[in-house]
Structure 1
Amino acid sequence: MSKHAYLIICHNNWKQLNFLIDCLNDPRNDFYIMVDSKATDFDCEYLTKSVPTDNLYFVNQIDVRWGDYSLFEASLSLLKAASAHQKYSYYHLLSGVDMPLKSQTYIHNFFDSNQGYEFVDFDNEDSSSLAFRRTRYYYLLQKYVGRKRISFFKILRDVILIFEKILHVNRVKDIQSYLAKGSNWFSITDDFAHYIIGKESFIKKYFYNTYICDEIVVQTLLNMSPYKDNWYGNKNHSLEYQNMRYLDWGRGKPYTFSKDDFFELHEGEYLFARKFSTDIVSNDIRDILLNKEN
């Protein structure tokens, strides 16, 4: 029996998190939860009581900030915790507002049929040049800047960037040819997971104090690794289903799906989608996902 590890990063919508775990709950799955340390209303005991599973593990919290290294650090901490516990066939990184679109039988059969492939997303346009712009300079203070368009820390960070540009700083010149960008959500094998973990010092050297590096690190490491030829995009010859997750960037950043959207998404080929509104929590959605025929 192949075992899968679901690595979940969350910061709110606890009822939705409960529902996500309930819909994924299966003897073949373990769950590793990273709750943003800024979340003050999370009740660990409530989650463990409301979701009937013995395979639920909590990973030490991190203060996750948008655009900062901390988001990748959260992913890495989850990978380290899961891989140290046991060997899994696949490690799936999700957020707490994601949803599976298929039953666990369908999902496990899919990955069994594609065992060894790495489901990592690469942008289809200008990926390497954008990754280079985000990583060549030291984005100091990004942790305090976040998404803010105007703040003291943003002004100070941008002034520092001006001096770096004058000095022609390029901290990634040694790996520039490997740089790539895509979605940070992935499904990867145990071998590639251990490869990433083993590169922690390398990752900090080149990606700490960069900008939105969680969308760059895994793609770049896959390009550098002996697992590059195992990228799923090489098999299906499509940029649509690289990580088997559907995000709608045409209607939002990304668009928030509702319960009504689920039924159409369920009929498609994707295995997961993000993000969903709280109305997804419903018995009819649960019944669909727990039906082994779906």
Structure 2
Amino acid sequence: MKIAHLILAHTAPAQLSKLIGALQGGNAHCFVHLDRKADLNSFPFLLDSAGVTLVADRVDVGWGAYSIVEATIRGFGAITASGMDFGYVNLLSGADYPLESPSGIHDFLARNSGKNFMEYYPVYNQWTEAIPRLSQYHLTNYHFPGKYLVQKYINKLLPERSMPAGLEPVGRSQWMTLTVDAVRYILEYLQAHPEVVRFFKLTWAPDEIIFQTILYNSPFRSTLVNDNLRYIDWSDGQASPKVLTEEDLERMATSGKLFARKFDLARFPAVIEQLDKRIKDHQM
């Protein structure tokens, strides 16, 4: 079984290169979507490294916008069209890092073959703070003067939105590890349901809802495991998770997760060095 790691990146070439190196093994291949705003000349290793594919037709990604969904979809498309026989697709950001060796990741997924790992909390009765994302109109994905004023009046004048195609919304974290069959289903579903695409283009942070919702309302529901296999610390109460340091090493080591986020190699290189050492020691 081969694993496709799809990495969404926009900055920090040295950190991205180190992440790719930590993931690579005989059964892994990295696909990288680099934000169109990033200078490709700063990432030469994406063009000449074995085991790495740069996703073509890059998207200009905006925070909270549908553009990050589009970047992910293009990555999924590149993986399924590659001709390589993948069993799993693992979605990462450039600020993530593995807590296990490539062989450890492979062995875990081989033992759990057919399962899909992601966070999926029902929006209407569990993740209720996400309801306004769906019930209101959001123009985050669009760029024109006065868009937030327009958004305000649209929401005053128009009735609340309702989910398309009879979908029951679920979600939380966008990072997930899916079977390639589930990824193909997502691509085919979106192709067949343009009304779902239109709906999520007017949703804030749709990347945290759209893929989970599609699979939850599909024959794949019985394969879902409500665990995204990531160690993420939200204890700071900020819009983004805590940047992990050496003081987090023990919690990461005992978390039972395969990956962690987020890291900053420029500010806190020691924690990544220690993770590399632990992984190497466990392999010996």
Please give the range of the TM-score, normalised by the shorter of the 2 chains. Answer: 0.7 to 0.9
Residue 248 of structure 2 is matched in structure 1 by 261
Residue 113 of structure 1 is matched in structure 2 by 111
TM-score (norm 1): 0.84
Of the candidates 266, 277, 282, which is equivalent to residue 264 of structure 2?
Answer: 277
**Unpaired segments ≥5 residues, structure 1:** 146-150, 234-241
Q: Which whole-Å CA distance do the structure 2 matches of 1:76 and 1:56 have between them? A: 18
Residue 77 of structure 1 is matched in structure 2 by 74
CA deviation profile, 1:79-133 (whole Å, cap 9, x unmatched): 1101111231110000001000111121111111111101011247744644543
User: Which protein, 1 or 2, shows the higher relative CO under an 8 Å CA cutoff with sep ≥ 6?
Assistant: 1
Of the candidates 193, 198, 210, which is equivalent to residue 205 of structure 1?
Answer: 198
Matched AA of 1:72 = V
Of the candidates 247, 250, 253, which is equivalent to residue 235 of structure 2?
Answer: 250
Residue 162, structure 1, aligned to residue 156, structure 2: yes
Q: Which whole-Å CA distance do the structure 2 matches of 1:47 and 1:142 have between them? A: 27
Residue 103, structure 1, aligned to residue 82, structure 2: no
Q: Which whole-Å CA distance do the structure 2 matches of 1:191 and 1:74 have between them? A: 19
TM-score (norm 2): 0.86
Residue 138 of structure 2 is matched in structure 1 by 139
**Unpaired segments ≥5 residues, structure 2:** none
Matched AA of 1:219 = Q
Point out the structure with the larger strand share: 2
Residue 220 of structure 1 is matched in structure 2 by 213
Q: Which whole-Å CA distance do the structure 2 matches of 1:12 and 1:196 have between them? A: 28
Identity %: 27
Q: How many residues matched? A: 273
Matched AA of 2:71 = A
Matched AA of 2:269 = I
Q: Which whole-Å CA distance do the structure 2 matches of 1:128 and 1:283 have between them? A: 36
Residue 166 of structure 2 is matched in structure 1 by 175
Residue 85 of structure 2 is matched in structure 1 by 87
**Is contact 1:120-1:219 (8 Å) kept?**
yes
> Residues 10 and 283 of structure 1: is their aligned pair in 2 closer, same or farther, counting only changes over 3 Å?
same
> Residues 131 and 179 of structure 1: is their aligned pair in 2 closer, same or farther, counting only changes over 3 Å?
farther
